[in-house]
Amino acid sequence: MRALEKKLIRDLLRLWSQGLAIALVLGCGVAIFLMSYGMFTALTETRAAYYERNRFAEVFASLRRAPQSLMPEIAAIEGVYAVETRVKGSAILDLPGQVESAVGQFISLPASGEPRLNLPLLRSGRFPDVQSDDEVMVNEPFAIANGYVPGDTLMANLNGQKRVLTITGTALSPEFIYTIGPGDMMPDNQGYGILWMSEPAMAAAFDMDGAFNDVSLQLRRHARSDDVIDRLDDLLDPFGGLGAHDRVQQQSHAFIDGELKQLQSMAYVLPPVFLGITIFLVNMVIGRIVALDRSEIGLLKAIGYSNLEVSLHYLALAVAIALIGTLLGILVGTWMARGLAELYATFFSFPYLIFAVRPDIYIIATALGLTTASLGAIQSALSAARLPPAVAMSPPAPPNYQSSMIDRLLLRARPSQRTMMVLRNIMRWPLRAGLTMLGIALAVAVLVASLFFEDTLEELIDSAFYSTNRQDVMLILTQEVNSDALEDIRRLPGVLQVEPAQMHGAILRNGHLEKRVGIEGRPATADLARILDQDGKVVAAPANGLLLSTRLASQLAIGVGDPLTVEFLTGQRETHVVNVAGIVTSYIGLPAYMEDTALDRLMRRSSTFSYANLTLDPAKEQEFHAAIKDLPRLAGTVMIADTLEAFEETIEQNINISMVVYIVIAVLITVGVTYNSARIQLSERARDLASLRILGFTKTEVSFILIGEIAFLALLAQPIGWLLGAGLATAMIAGFESDLYSIPLVLSRDTFALSSVVVLAAAAASTLLVRRRLDRLNLIEVMKTRE
């Protein structure tokens, strides 16, 4: 083994603690990179395989009623490869042993053969018999949540007729990976289920003999979906078509797409933080080693080692540390990616998980780790190569310190000698002090950008469940009904307040920009479902014009007072031009609002409503649920308290996991920065500190000089970390935003305080580890000069 190779091994053993701290920071960056891309790749490939194997459609359309004879015309549209027409309908389910009703989405299965598109994947039992009118197959999450197995029965109110249905099997479908009921914000597997029934039984139950009200298309490889959608809309318009759309607007696909984009964004936000800190740490450590090895460098060159060999030696030291960190990151990142991908697959009810991190991802991760370490070490390696042997073997010239204005100001302030030593050392090494401060600030920023979610979600819950939606229950009807039907709802047991509302699909256009949304018609005096402006004040739905949510107005590039073209997809499907009356706050969806009576006038029809908001007497809630199970035109119910509970449970689990992960990340960053800084300080100033001990300074007084500099920099880093954290949180909020939801940015003092406490505690702990070395210094050995 050559001398340089032996020296490399000895340096690694001597610097194992500092190297490990750097390796852990680098490993975190590599692990998060692999975790993000590993999860993203696994879930993306699993979804793609699921879609392909079960023939998930690419274009979807709902309508009131069309004859089956229209199907050949749809199939003849240029670019269409396959067509599936179905009968769909909603019904209230009366589940055995449960007080609250559930909602079922019924879907027809072909009378002959399996569906051409959106093929359910059988998980247990069998498909319903084509000849039977009382057999159903249910989606597996609904069956698991309610404890159903093939052979169990449930009761459904099908178009006003109560029927006992037998479950023949359970299935999963690519169409309902993320299953949300009408009006719900979160999946409710216990209260919302998908039920497949034979087409003859569905047609008889929903009065759709020889007709369909739902169609799905699969396109040829090079077909343009926009052209197909336009042609399909033309065919379905006379039959009450509600506007065709592609996968982007399909509910389940859109939710999963949003989650996958969030996972992908993690790979762009956090790993650069770790890699940047690693560059600084490697530069700091290798630079100090080169400074201490001056005489050895001169000796190596004197006996024949070239400049290239010497510089490669120090690069190899950095690369060795990087290899350890990269290996740790790959192992931990792969484990985390698999574990979290399995959790997501379970949450999304994927029937299987295809997990295989591509080799190129590992290659990229390794290249990032090695490149990061090389960038950190290159300057120090080049400085070692540039040292002439004669210069290297002589003692370095003492630093040329000059008194500055800051020194004079400090003298006037008359700080203690120890404090003056701390401040002067910071001023004499400003770049190193600044980078140390930046590293600690980044640790604070990572914590701020994670802990703010708790306050943000509290704001979201307060807005969505207390300030705006103050009702106890929403009753969603199968179709619009006359306002006279409100009296029937008022007579239900326990009903205290009733507010009608209506929803209409529409396409909003501003020049070349357009968006398909739902326009809500609400009473001007609405008190249960309220609208908040951008200042949080309650506003009434306008009689003239539309209220648009902030994100919707932004996407349409439109402001208050501007004209907006509205193409209704319901009623007589007319197009009107209305003005934007105001901009309001909404974190869920992209809503638009108008007063219900004004909306009726605009659409030239009598007063109707499609859902109602209610408050209930808690003492009569059981009677209320018993009564609504018999309502003939009820498509679903949303219990706000149950939705809130499900929302809080899901969010609480995610927050707890993410908080633990981010706290560990912040602690590793802090330890890596402060421990290495303190070790280098100790190696540089060991002789000075030992001299002070010999002169009579106590261990505590000498420790203050070592610890005081790190403590001072850590305190200065806090406000910088708060600002960086606020910026990082803003970037994350922007990355999470989608048409389905947005997240408010709420940064409280508690978030900043907790972030600082965690980082300062980690900095104190790692610095105290180095202080123990100070206490064990051999004063005689330290005072010996190497020259």
Mean pLDDT on 548-576: 88
301 pLDDT band, cuts 50/70/90, is confident
3 pLDDT higher than 80: no
- Rounded CA-CA distance 310/3 in Å is 11
Q: Which helix (H) or strand (E) holds 277?
A: helix 271-292
Cα end-to-end distance, the chain, whole Å: 28
Tokens of 450: 């994670």
Write down the pLDDT at residue 401.
58
Q: Are strands 211-219 and 59-67 parallel, antiparallel or unpaired?
A: antiparallel
Nearest to 471 by CA among 446, 433, 508, 498: 498
Mean pLDDT of the chain, nearest integer: 83
In the predicted model, is pLDDT for residue 786 greater than 60? no
Element (DSSP H or E) covering residue 596: helix 596-602
Convert the pLDDT of each residue in 633-657 to its tens digit: 787 788 888 777 777 776 666 666 6
pLDDT at 787: 44
The amino acid that residue 671 corresponds to is V
Other Cβ atoms within 10 Å of 260 Cβ, number = 17
pLDDT value of residue 1: 56
Q: What is the DSSP string of 749-770?
A: HHHHHHHHHHHHHHHHHHHHHH
Q: Is 504 left (phi over 0), alpha (psi -120 to 50) or beta?
A: beta
Of 246, 123, 247, 255, nearest to 196 (Cα)?
A: 123
Residue 308 CB coordination number (10 Å):
10
- The tens digit of pLDDT for each residue in 27-53 reads 888 888 888 888 888 888 999 999 999
Phi and psi based region of residue 111 (left: phi greater than 0; alpha: psi -120 to 50; beta: remaining): alpha
Q: Which residues pair with 107 in a beta bridge?
A: 88, 196
What is residue 46's predicted lDDT score, i.e. its pLDDT?
Answer: 92
Average pLDDT over residues 427-444: 81
Map tokens 């490399």 to a residue.
8
Dig out the tokens for 735 from the structure: 């990355």
Q: 90 has which bridge partners?
A: 105
Distance separating alpha carbons of residues 730 and 750, to the nearest angstrom: 18
Residue 332 has pLDDT above 50, yes or no: yes
Residues 226, 228: Cα–Cα separation, whole Å? 5
592 CB neighbour count, 10 Å cutoff = 26
62-112: pLDDT as tens digits: 998 999 999 999 999 999 999 999 999 888 888 887 878 888 899 999 988
Q: Is the pLDDT of residue 779 over 70?
A: no
CB 485 within 8 A of CB 560: no
CB-CB neighbours of 10 under 10 Å:
10
CB atoms within 10 A of CB 776: 7
Rounded CA gap, 610 and 612, in Å?
7
CB neighbours (10 Å) of residue 538? Answer: 12
* % residues pLDDT > 70 (the chain): 91
Distance CA 552, CA 586 (A): 10
**Which of 560, 566, 595, 594 has its CA nearest to residue 578?**
566
Alpha helices (H) in 78-153, listed in sequence order = 140-146
Beta-sheet pairing, 192-198 with 102-109: parallel
Edge-to-edge strands of the sheet including 80-86?
80-86, 211-219, 59-67, 245-246
What's residue 411's pLDDT?
A: 62
Nearest to 357 by CA among 90, 61, 33, 605: 33
Rounded CA-CA distance 36/43 in Å is 11
Taking only the tens place, the pLDDT of each residue in 577-594 is 999 998 988 888 788 999
Where does the pLDDT of residue 478 fall: very low under 50, low under 70, confident under 90, or very high at 90 and above? confident
Higher-pLDDT residue of 273, 190: 190
| Average pLDDT estimate for 350-378 | 87
Give CA separation, 639 vs 251, 465, 471, 615, in Å: 21, 11, 9, 10
What pLDDT does residue 766 have?
A: 83
| pLDDT mean over 664-673 | 80
Q: Kindly report the pTM of this predicted structure.
A: 0.78
* Predicted local distance difference test score (pLDDT) of residue 417: 67
Residue with tokens 């209409």: 504
* Structural contact between residues 584 and 547, judged by C-beta atoms closer than 8 angstroms: yes
pLDDT above 70 (res 404): no
H or E stretch including 340? helix 307-347
Q: Where are the domains of the chain?
A: 88-207, 429-469+640-787, 495-616
Flag whether pLDDT at 780 surpasses 70: no
CA atoms of 39 and 316, how far apart (whole Å): 32
Lowest mean pLDDT: which of 330-339, 519-528, 766-775? Answer: 766-775
Average pLDDT value for residue range 134-163: 89
**What's the residue count for the chain?**
787
pLDDT digits 0-9 by tens, 230-249: 999 989 988 888 888 999 88
How large is the average pLDDT for residues 514-526?
Answer: 88
| E-state strands within 47-152 | 59-67, 80-86, 88-94, 102-109, 121-125, 135-139
DSSP-based three-state secondary structure for 68: helix
Tell me the C-alpha distance between 702 and 565, whole Å.
Answer: 75
- pLDDT value of residue 783: 60
- Looking at residue 397, its pLDDT comes to 63
